């Protein structure tokens, strides 16, 4: 059955880029959804309906029977989305995030293990992540790993806006077989990383284990988050780093949630979160 995404989008005056920004994805993904090259799952239908101000059922049917669009209900905040593109002589990276997503992801960095970790970050934080990175992998994985952390961090910061209503703090203890890791964070506007994680091997697959700290450092700086990552114990290096990414995901999921009692207030006695307590 043909879908109405294109017609609904034009009815409310949006181009593909504008719709992509609303739902936290890329214009290419919107094009694939409109043409049927990407399957319309229930999660995609809900995201598109929110972006097009309509009911999910309105996405299907004859184009000449378009229903009127519906306004968002009172108190329903706009989805927190952002897209960032960064180009240097070393890397070209494009990231789209939807803080209020369903943990859907499309990740292509050219580094298999990093892709696996970023997929975990998306799935367990429920933040939708679309990431496409091209870097100088013929040299090593350093620039692509670090710059991916920078761009994801910047996109999260942009999507969160002025931080009104957020819970701000998050913490998670993540067990993974013999491993236990703890991640605590504060979306404070004051970037800082404490990294207490040791590895017994220099590489996981083709990836240098020292690069994981570089990723977390880049992310915390760009997102302006105070971030503490502690591996309490563990032996398997894969389990150790994966528990750290899953811990970050679960802590972020807590911290970005809207506090229903203070939806319009920045969680700081100073009224701002930027280099303040």
Domain at 36, CATH number: 1.10.260.40
The per-residue pLDDT for 20 is 84
Whether residue 199 is predicted with pLDDT greater than 70 in this model: the reply is yes
The per-residue pLDDT for 107 is 95
| 33 contacts: CB under 8 Å, gap ≥ 6 | 3, 5, 40, 44, 48
Same domain, 12 and 122: no
- Report yes or no on 76 lying in a domain: no
Same domain, 120 and 60: no
Q: Which of 18-22, 192-196, 200-204, 237-241 has the lowest mean pLDDT?
A: 18-22
Q: Quick one: which of 71, 270, 115 has its CA closest to 206?
A: 115
- Report yes or no on 156 lying in a domain: yes
Same domain, 87 and 175: yes
The per-residue pLDDT for 277 is 52
Same domain, 233 and 201: yes
Domain at 188, CATH number: 3.30.230.40
pTM for this model (two decimals): 0.74
Same domain, 40 and 162: no
- Report yes or no on 276 lying in a domain: no
Q: How many domains does the chain have?
A: 2
Same domain, 179 and 100: yes
Q: How confident is the model at residue 133 (pLDDT cuts 50, 70, 90)?
A: very high
- Report yes or no on 238 lying in a domain: yes
Whether residue 136 is predicted with pLDDT greater than 90 in this model: the reply is yes
| 82 contacts: CB under 8 Å, gap ≥ 6 | 21, 24, 96, 97, 155, 156, 158, 159
Helix (H, G, I), strand (E, B) or coil at 203: strand
- Report yes or no on 188 lying in a domain: yes
Among 41, 65, 89, identify where a domain stops: 65
- Report yes or no on 274 lying in a domain: no
Q: 139-155, pLDDT tens digit by residue? A: 999 999 999 999 999 99
- Contact between 148 and 133 under an 8 Å Cβ cutoff? The reply is yes
Same domain, 139 and 176: yes
Which domain does 222 fall in, by range?
Answer: 81-255
Same domain, 111 and 55: no
- Report yes or no on 261 lying in a domain: no
How far is 216 from 219, CA to CA, in rounded Å? 5
Same domain, 131 and 174: yes
Same domain, 89 and 59: no
Q: How confident is the model at residue 72 (pLDDT cuts 50, 70, 90)?
A: very low
Q: What is the DSSP string of 204-266?
A: ETTEETTHHHHHHHHHHHHHT-EEEEEEEE-S-HHHHHHHHHHHHHHHHHHHTSB-TTSTTS-
- Report yes or no on 262 lying in a domain: no
Helix (H, G, I), strand (E, B) or coil at 85: strand
| 65 contacts: CB under 8 Å, gap ≥ 6 | none
Element (H, E) at 133: strand 128-135
The per-residue pLDDT for 275 is 63
What percent of the chain is modeled with pLDDT above 90?
Answer: 61
Q: 73-99, pLDDT tens digit by residue? A: 344 446 789 999 999 999 999 999 999
Same domain, 98 and 200: yes
Same domain, 137 and 188: yes
The per-residue pLDDT for 2 is 66
The per-residue pLDDT for 68 is 44
Cα dihedral 201, 203, 204, 210 sign: positive
């Amino acid at each position: 059955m043909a879908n109405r995404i294109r017609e609904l989008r034009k009815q409310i005056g949006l181009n593909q880029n504008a719709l992509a920004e609303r739902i936290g994805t890329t214009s290419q993904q919107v094009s694939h959804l409109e043409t049927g090259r990407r399957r319309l799952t229930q999660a995609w239908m809900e995201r598109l309906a929110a972006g097009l101000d309509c009911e999910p059922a309105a996405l299907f049917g004859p184009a000449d029977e378009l229903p009127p669009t519906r306004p968002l209900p009172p108190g329903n905040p706009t989805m927190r989305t952002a897209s960032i593109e960064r180009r240097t002589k070393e890397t070209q990276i494009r990231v789209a995030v939807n803080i209020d997503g369903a943990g859907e992801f499309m990740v292509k960095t050219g580094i298999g293990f990093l892709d696996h970790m970023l997929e975990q970050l998306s799935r367990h934080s429920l933040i939708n992540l679309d990431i496409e990175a091209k870097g100088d992998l013929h040299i090593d994985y350093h620039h692509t790993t670090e710059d991916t952390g920078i761009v994801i961090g910047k996109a999260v910061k942009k999507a969160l806006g002025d931080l009104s209503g957020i819970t701000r703090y998050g913490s998670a203890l993540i067990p993974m077989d013999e491993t236990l890791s703890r991640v605590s964070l504060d979306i404070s506007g004051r970037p800082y990383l404490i990294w207490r994680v040791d590895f017994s091997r220099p590489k996981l697959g083709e990836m240098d284990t020292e690069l994981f700290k570089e990723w977390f450092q880049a992310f915390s700086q760009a997102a302006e988050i105070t971030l503490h990552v502690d591996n309490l114990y563990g032996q398997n290096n894969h389990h150790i780093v994966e528990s750290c990414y899953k811990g970050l995901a679960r802590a972020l999921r807590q911290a970005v949630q809207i506090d229903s009692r203070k939806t319009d207030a920045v969680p700081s006695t100073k009224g701002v979160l930027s280099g303040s307590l």
